Amino acid sequence: MTTLRTLSDKTLAALIDGVPEAVLAVDEEGRIVGCNRAAEAALDLLAADITGHLPAAHPHTAPLADMIRRAVTTGQPTREPLPNSGHAGHTIMVLVTPAAGPSHHAPRSMSRLLDQMREIVHELKLPISSAKSFIDLIEATGEVNTQQAKWAERARLSLISMLSLVHELLDMAWLESGAALTLQSTDLCQLAERALAGLENYAHYREVDLSLDIPPEGCTLHGDESRLEGAITNLVSNAIKYSPDGGPVRLVIRRTADTITLRVEDRGIGIAPEHIPHLFQPFYRVQTAATRRIEGSGLGLSIVKGIVEKHGGTVFVESAPGEGSVFGFTLPVTNGGTPIA
């Protein structure tokens, strides 16, 4: 995050910087307290030059003074076309955030800001998904040559990774909001099958063989289907992503009388012991020559941990550099004393 000095919340900062739309955050007096990278580019300035100042203090933010006043008066996020922008359709969003320094309003304002950010991130889902559909349409409506097909595939993969970042940011915001799980009787083995089916194309592209080893009778527990499927997808897609030379990825589920354990095993790059204790912390990424070219936000594992712990379970990892990794979790088959169907 370029600035947002008044906001200590790391997730919030990542949310704002993760948004491709230009966003300015102002305090309740209309003073600029944050400016994301897209806004720096759109307004042709550096966040450091406008942070802490009223819009009138800089020639490039002065035309926004009226819009900022309206946002402060209503307390609502305001989005308008960029004044004097040569680019039709370019907009900027103004969010009202807590003032710098100690403030007894901060918690309420912070949660309002988080709600607003969640709304923006949520709005990104549609344009990204429709861009992906248009790429699919290009190929579906006529012959494309090999080069064009290759570029289309790259564009599709970039959009998929944007979509997955959007989902991660929304999951993170959901976890931080303390919202409840939607619990029902569900079969973890079926969720694992669905997660693998969703990752088939990605695995094929990365030349990774996916296999599943599950008890034939299934593994029923009381859980939140979509969150658990998301957690499994996260672990398997990491296993594929961190196996840059291809290789097998195996998902194994075993149950005892009281627990169900899911393991995702890969023979990828592995992880050195000093990183292991930090892997489930938000934003932690291992920085080595092997990981430098692999994209990621560092949020996935912390989301998996959050979801698993909300189900009363625990996460684990075993790994050695060059040999591969096993990531997984153990869940109780009862939850809060509720018998399993």
User: Which spans of this chain sit near ligand ADP (rule: CB under 6 A)?
Assistant: 238-239, 242, 266, 268-269, 271, 279, 284-286, 291, 296-302, 325, 327
Nearer to ligand ADP by Cβ, of 229 and 266: the residue is 266
Please report how close the Cβ of residue 253 comes to ligand ADP at its closest, in angstroms. 17
Residue nearest to ligand ADP (CB): 296
Nearer to ligand ADP by Cβ, of 54 and 326: the residue is 326
Please report how close the Cβ of residue 290 comes to ligand ADP at its closest, in angstroms. 9
Please report how close the Cβ of residue 292 comes to ligand ADP at its closest, in angstroms. 11
Nearer to ligand ADP by Cβ, of 40 and 266: the residue is 266
Nearer to ligand ADP by Cβ, of 152 and 290: the residue is 290
Please report how close the Cβ of residue 288 comes to ligand ADP at its closest, in angstroms. 8
Distance (Å, whole) CA 43 – CA 82: 8
Nearer to ligand ADP by Cβ, of 61 and 325: the residue is 325
Please report how close the Cβ of residue 271 comes to ligand ADP at its closest, in angstroms. 5
